[in-house]
Amino acid sequence: MSIKVEDYYAPATFQKMKAFADQHETPFVVIDTNIISKAYDDLRAGFEFAKIYYAVKANPAVEIINLLKDKGSSFDIASIYELDKVMGCGVGPERISYGNTIKKARDVRYFYEKGVRLFATDSEADLRNIAKAAPGSKIYVRILTEGSTSADWPLSRKFGCQTDMAMDLLILAKQLGLVPYGISFHVGSQQRDIDVWDAAVAKVKVIFERLKEEDGIVLQMINMGGGFPANYITRTNSLETYAEEIIRFLKDDFGDELPEIILEPGRSLISNAGVLVSEVVLVARKSRTAVERWVYTDVGKFSGLIETMDEAIKFPIWTEKKGEMEEVVIAGPTCDSADIMYEHYKYGLPLNLASGDRLYWFSTGAYTTSYSAVEFNGFPPLKSFFL
């Protein structure tokens, strides 16, 4: 398998990124913010009626927060630290949702004091905390969804609750003086099966109807989370196809009078805009007769590539060297044997690859720098540069 630049980047764009990269020592991620800007516009165009809340955890760089703030985005925030950072960029609390269902009561209070009035929940204990610490706020309940087998990075099990509990929580929210506002779900990140949204929207519809009929509660919002794709080795449908299909599911269930729709993209907005540039430290074989070569590079699981865990995300890797390819194991630089990125999925790299050659990891703008360890083996966190 050999990766072609033009399958991932416009040649001029890649040339610009590479020219910049040539001036800097590896490892780092170079991010072209024009690509983020276009991804945002494409999502806007695909879902004209939706409000976009950027999931800050994908990449919390101020360059990205500022860009998206100026484009009118709102923000999905998971901690008081992300809140401080985003508000520090001048984003008002009315553009913020506290989307983490796992939070301390004093952190809820902190958000409330900063003016945030939109909170996710999926448990009674959390809901009671919100009622005390953030009285009168709008509540949306996260439900469990299927789809963990077709998502490359599932977000299932840990978050969300069953339909019955979601209804109980929204009824309780009302009793506690909160505003039962809507339902959220996340079908799993890098979700390749669009039909998973169909099942999720159908569940939401049931909750909307039953709460209205049985309890007189009229919900107003559906938060459809993230899950939209980035361009990795395993190809996906285009964003337009996702949008067309998902809108059809919404209209099938809710007709033309859609409730307020929120999207929380992370990966799909940012990933494609970044190229991680690393250097080959060593190429080695484990015995005289071993067929397989090990390629050790100066970036690894602990410096931004944790999504290679279980080889879940398969980043396209490009190198300038051409010629005969051979299957390799690709591993990072640290003294931890978990620091192997790809061993089962066979990456091909040129036979003449040698120490000092550069590897270009495409679509690494999201979930890389934000995951990088601060000092494992003394290696500094993964840097990023913005064009």
Ligand X SMILES: *Cc1c(COP(=O)(O)O)cnc(C)c1O
Residues that bind ligand X (CB under 6 A): 55, 57-58, 76, 99, 186, 189, 225-228, 264-268
Smallest distance from ligand X to CB 99, Å: 4
User: Can you give 248-298 as a three-state secondary structure string?
Assistant: HHHHHHHCCCCCEEEECCCHHHHHHHEEEEEEEEEEECCCCCCCCEEEEEC
Cβ-based nearer residue to ligand X, 264 or 339: 264
User: Per this entry, what is the length of the chain?
Assistant: 387
> Can you tell me which residue has the tokens 């929940």?
121
Smallest distance from ligand X to CB 209, Å: 24
Smallest distance from ligand X to CB 77, Å: 10
Cβ-based nearer residue to ligand X, 182 or 333: 182
Q: Are 301 and 371 in contact (CB under 8 A)?
A: no
Q: Which two tokens stand for residue 86?
A: 């985003």
Smallest distance from ligand X to CB 361, Å: 17
Smallest distance from ligand X to CB 262, Å: 10
Smallest distance from ligand X to CB 271, Å: 8
Cβ-based nearer residue to ligand X, 145 or 297: 145
Nearest to 133 by CA among 94, 176, 91, 168: 176
Smallest distance from ligand X to CB 378, Å: 30
What residues are paired with 277 via a beta bridge? 28, 360
Cβ-based nearer residue to ligand X, 60 or 333: 60
Cβ-based nearer residue to ligand X, 253 or 264: 264
CA separation for the pair 293, 300 (Å, rounded): 17
Q: Are 34 and 12 in contact (CB under 8 A)?
A: no
Q: Are 280 and 348 in contact (CB under 8 A)?
A: no
Contacts for 322-325 with beta carbons within 8 Å, 24 or more apart?
322/350, 323/350, 323/351, 323/352, 324/350, 324/351, 324/352, 325/1, 325/2, 325/349, 325/350, 325/351
Computed over its alpha carbons, how large is the radius of gyration of the chain? 22
Cβ-based nearer residue to ligand X, 149 or 355: 149
Cβ-based nearer residue to ligand X, 99 or 333: 99
Smallest distance from ligand X to CB 188, Å: 7
Smallest distance from ligand X to CB 3, Å: 22
CA separation for the pair 234, 229 (Å, rounded): 10
What residue number has its CB nearest to ligand X?
226
What value, to the nearest 5°, has the Cα angle with vertex 125 and ends 123 and 128?
110
Cβ-based nearer residue to ligand X, 227 or 333: 227
96-125: b (≥16 Cβ within 10 Å) or e? bbbbbbebeeebbbbbbeeebbbbbbbeee
Cβ-based nearer residue to ligand X, 266 or 332: 266
